[in-house]
Amino acid sequence: GTRRKEDIAFVTDFIEKYDGFRSARETAVSAVHDAVAALDAFSGSADRNYLSVLAGLARYVLSRDR
């Protein structure tokens, strides 16, 4: 109801005030970068298509809206 919407708005404002969304985004970008780099260990395998899909999925996490 209305109380829930007010609570969500309060929390969202609090997170924005303390730059939490930017910080979370930076952490996610770093984690995806590390994950994609870790896939390089398997670059000699015959399953390059799977590696490409995994890297794409990792990057997708950063591009989606929710």
pLDDT in tens, 4-39: 999 999 999 999 999 999 999 999 999 999 999 999
pLDDT band for position 1 (cuts 50, 70, 90): confident
pLDDT of residue 12: 95
- Compute the distance between CA of residue 62 and CA of residue 47 in angstroms, rounded to an integer: 24
**pTM to 2 decimal places:** 0.73
Name the CA radius of gyration of the chain, rounded: 18
pLDDT of residue 66: 62
pLDDT of residue 42: 87
